[in-house]
Structure 1
Amino acid sequence: MTPDQIGFAFIILGFFLIIGKWIRVFSPLLQQLFLPSSIIAGLLALLAGPEVLGAIAETIFSADHALADGLIPPNVIEVWSALPGLLISIVFASLFLGTTLPSLKKVWFTGGPQVAMGQMVSWGQYVIGILLVLLILTPFFGTNPLAGALIEISFVGGHGTAAGLGDTFADLGFAEGQDLAVGLATIGILGGVIIGIILINWGARTGRAPYVGGKATFSSKGRNGIVELNNRYSSGEMTTRPESVDPLSLHFAYVGLAIGIGWVLLEALVWLEDATYGGQTDVYLFEYVPLFPLAMVGGIIVQGFSDKFDKFRVIDKGMIDRIGGFSLDVLIVSALATISVSVIGENIVAFLSLAAVGVAWNVIAFLFLAPKMIPAYWFERGIGDFGQATGIAATGLLLMKVADPETDTPAFEGFGYKQVLFEPFVGGGLVTAASMPLIFQFGAVPFFIGALIITLFWMIFGMLYFGRK
């Protein structure tokens, strides 16, 4: 691919993103679903590309027809296919940059119940996923045992994690898993919002969600995603003078530094593994682990040094969020646009089964376990955990905003603190990235046993320790 082709691919991607945004602005249904414009844009690009429009044209006419590749040139699809694996490291490196790291004591005191809840649900997704694969999907449909990890990768990790693990899927001989994972991530966001809103309505009617605030919550002026002209706010602070260095350039450099530290850490782990047990046992894990969870660790290290030594506080959270937000939007559009629909069709039973049991587990955990594990405001706090467990952290924040629009409960604070002890491990963290290599090296059964033990630990610990407070 040439530089011109790469530039043209970004222009086409931006075109779809603009179209997706304005479709959302004028679509009440999509507004009620709170569906991000990037997902709309990605689905439009998928429909216009070779997998849908191109396949239809090839079936009706011939493989030489002008529309056999859809409306998107093959070189654009080639560029888009490479973007998720690159951008996911930027997204994860940005997670903790610009945020003063709280003490672990404060994190545990405020967010501990949600840490226990989130860990239990995430590890439980491995349990039910592997159980489904071992008992049904592999024996009867020949599904790869690695598919047992897809629910947690897709639901909690989201599109970014699912797409970012592309090289790992390929290295482990499960290339079709990436398409299934991205598709499941889309189902997760849609299911999380729709089912979450249903649960909130049920909670409001039964008195379990007293802070909902009636129908006004669902008709906020910002539902179309446009900030009113007289309510607009800054997207970041100018922490450096542009004649010295543009603040956006400096913040992008800090993100790059975090990714660089993550790369050094990953290379060190690969070398250490090879020098110790790897060379003796021929068991290798870290060579299959992608860069992005270590990039997140790099971000934590950079922020820790900034908190201690940078008296000027030049890292601004708003600016970092814009870098991460841009990267995530481009990632989602490119990942969805390059899904292989034929792969999902060939594995439709596994796809639908994993989606169904994943959603069912999340609903059961929220309705029956959250009240026993979260001592106060269980609905408002638990609905955030449900949203994140089904469709990434943004869905959890959205559902909490609907359930607690005036922030009358500690749900938002606890949810934020939860991420400090949650994201580094599951939901796109080290465990998520290592789950498939672990299954590949040791087998699905040992991983299932370990996940079951950890799930039961967090469940019992949450009930007996936090539930009694």
Structure 2
Amino acid sequence: MPDITEIDGAMLNSLLVSISILGLLLLVGVVLRLLIPGLRKFFIPAALIGGLLGLSLGPHALDVVPGDMTSTWGALAGLLIAIVFAPMLLGQELPGVKQAAKEAGPHIFYSYFSSFAIIAVPALMTFFIFQPFFNTNALFSTIFEVSWPGGHGTAAGMEEAYQDLGWQDGSSLGLGAATFGLVFGIIAGMIMLNIAARRGHLVNYTGTAVLTDSDILKDSAATQESRSRLRKASLDNLAFHFSLIGAAIIIGYVLKHFVDMVITGVPLFPLAMIGGLIVHLAIRPTPMYKLVDKSTLNSIAGIALDFLVVAAVASISIPVVLENWVALLATMIVVALLSIGIFYIIGPRIFREHWVENSIVNFGAMTGVVSVGLLLLRAADPQMKTNAYRGFALRAPFTSPFVGGGIITALFPILVAQHGNLWIGLGCLAACLLLIGLAMLLGIWQKPSVRKESA
């Protein structure tokens, strides 16, 4: 458990003001999306818009927002990630092994292969180029697995881990890389979909399905994000689900206490996710489980994620990014080309049908988190006629807890600090080769000429 420090009224007031200003930045982001169609066209979320606005108002730009407030935002982002991850496995029913192997197997392969590749290539580049010629910190290689498939949330959540390892710049560089990955994933993904459509690989593609006239839904399209089976006389539905998340986080702190005895630097958020699984298993046999609503948990996680992104982006240290711009830009270009190569080389060999639809959702998740992948898939298959949605959803319990922001992602900086980039890079390259061998053995890997074309 962490040390408990008394927080006086003045500190609480400062925290309230800091969070309220984050809320204003989110509102401005919503308004700008409504007024500027280009922001909707390229799927730039309101949280990212608000974060960039907050960054421009910060001490490294216009100096309107004081440095103390941006420091508070940075610390807040590192805590909110625990709320995002704690409910991930809570209320999540795992699919059967046979069902997952058939439908989700190729998606699971794509996720692990792309993550190990994103670990291996930057690690070897850092070891052979950036460390000897630019005196770059060895942990620089870790920010790409953290920030591209992990996104802004994981990049912010790793701040404490990087600090424990003696590298203060990791989170800011990760957030900068995450922003580039998000924009690149959307633009490159749409270009690749247009190319696939011209080649006849996408019969359901319209090219405009994901662009809406407005972010404001019509009454007929309105959604209900929460369902309650608990009487308000007992406890409000949101309070009940917040309490479940709180229990998961407390368990995460307990686990962290014991993990720190063995290995230091493991952040809280993956342990909070395990805490959520423990809560799930504890209440699963009881009547209380009937009260758990996954959509409500997702809404709470979504709130935390939106505030996390705006806080994290607004607190990016611009001097740190500029100081490392050569290594950052070079590696981002290589990783971008790598992600495109995996799409065109791996995708046709592991998906028996609708390979573009199945690959594009994984490409989006690899470069700009799951939401980008789903946006690209919605453009490729607006009527959901392929199996890509189901296969991608079934893969989540087998990948999200581990890669792309999971336990392996969190352990990666620690492994680099202990063993160095060379061995980690070579080890992950070997893991990629082993995955290909396993895919061949299981019949997942095949020649593109053998697979069925999309129909």
Q: TM-score, normalised by structure 1?
A: 0.90
The alignment covers a number of residue pairs equal to: 437
Conserved 8 A contact 1:88-1:164:
yes
Structure-2 residue corresponding to 1:80: 73
Match of 1:313 among 275, 279, 290: 290
Match of 2:218 among 228, 234, 247: 228
Q: Say if 2:248 is the partner of 1:258.
A: yes
Secondary structure of the structure 2 residue equivalent to 1:289: coil
Conserved 8 A contact 2:126-2:421:
no
Secondary structure of the structure 1 residue equivalent to 2:291: coil
Q: 1:4, 1:269 → 2: CA distance?
A: 34
Structure-1 residue corresponding to 2:397: 420
Q: Are residues 308 and 107 of structure 1, via their aligned partners in 2, closer, same or farther at CA, if it must alter by over 3 Å?
A: farther
Conserved 8 A contact 1:306-1:313:
no
Match of 2:322 among 342, 345, 352: 345
Conserved 8 A contact 1:116-1:461:
no
Q: Are residues 136 and 178 of structure 1, via their aligned partners in 2, closer, same or farther at CA, if it must alter by over 3 Å?
A: same
Q: Are residues 179 and 260 of structure 1, via their aligned partners in 2, closer, same or farther at CA, if it must alter by over 3 Å?
A: same
Structure-2 residue corresponding to 1:269: 259
Q: Say if 2:90 is the partner of 1:97.
A: yes
How far does residue 311 in structure 1 lie from its aligned partner after superposition? 6.3
Q: Are residues 312 and 461 of structure 1, via their aligned partners in 2, closer, same or farther at CA, if it must alter by over 3 Å?
A: closer
Structure-2 residue corresponding to 1:281: none
Q: Are residues 176 and 216 of structure 1, via their aligned partners in 2, closer, same or farther at CA, if it must alter by over 3 Å?
A: closer
Q: 2:435, 2:351 → 1: CA distance?
A: 12
Conserved 8 A contact 2:208-2:379:
no
Q: Match for 2:39: what amino acid?
A: L
Q: Are residues 326 and 219 of structure 1, via their aligned partners in 2, closer, same or farther at CA, if it must alter by over 3 Å?
A: closer
How far does residue 266 in structure 1 lie from its aligned partner after superposition? 2.5
Structure-1 residue corresponding to 2:118: 125
Q: Say if 2:407 is the partner of 1:430.
A: yes
Q: 1:188, 1:252 → 2: CA distance?
A: 31
Map residues 155-194 of structure 1 onto 2, 5 A cutoff: 155-194=148-187
Q: 1:417, 1:74 → 2: CA distance?
A: 43
How far does residue 312 in structure 1 lie from its aligned partner after superposition? 5.6
Show CA shifts across 1:371-422 (max 9, x none): 0122222111110110000001111111111111111111111111111111
Match of 2:301 among 288, 304, 324: 324
Structure-2 residue corresponding to 1:379: 356
Structure-2 residue corresponding to 1:299: 276
Structure-1 residue corresponding to 2:199: 206
Structure-1 residue corresponding to 2:445: 467
Q: 2:184, 2:268 → 1: CA distance?
A: 29
Structure-1 residue corresponding to 2:31: 22
User: What are the ranges of 5 or more consecutive residues in structure 2 without an aligned counterpart?
Assistant: 1-9
Conserved 8 A contact 2:84-2:304:
yes
How far does residue 218 in structure 1 lie from its aligned partner after superposition? 4.0
Map residues 360-399 of structure 1 onto 2, 5 A cutoff: 360-399=337-376
Q: TM-score, normalised by structure 2?
A: 0.93
How far does residue 308 in structure 1 lie from its aligned partner after superposition? 3.1
Match of 1:456 among 425, 433, 446: 433
Q: 2:295, 2:252 → 1: CA distance?
A: 22
Conserved 8 A contact 1:48-1:71:
yes
Q: Match for 1:82: what amino acid?
A: A
Conserved 8 A contact 2:210-2:378:
no
Map residues 36-51 of structure 1 onto 2, 5 A cutoff: 36-51=45-60
Structure-2 residue corresponding to 1:282: none
Q: 2:299, 2:415 → 1: CA distance?
A: 34
- The structure whose residues are more often helix, as a share, is 1
Q: 1:467, 1:446 → 2: CA distance?
A: 27
Q: 1:107, 1:89 → 2: CA distance?
A: 27
Conserved 8 A contact 2:210-2:375:
no
Conserved 8 A contact 1:373-1:459:
no
Q: 1:203, 1:220 → 2: CA distance?
A: 22
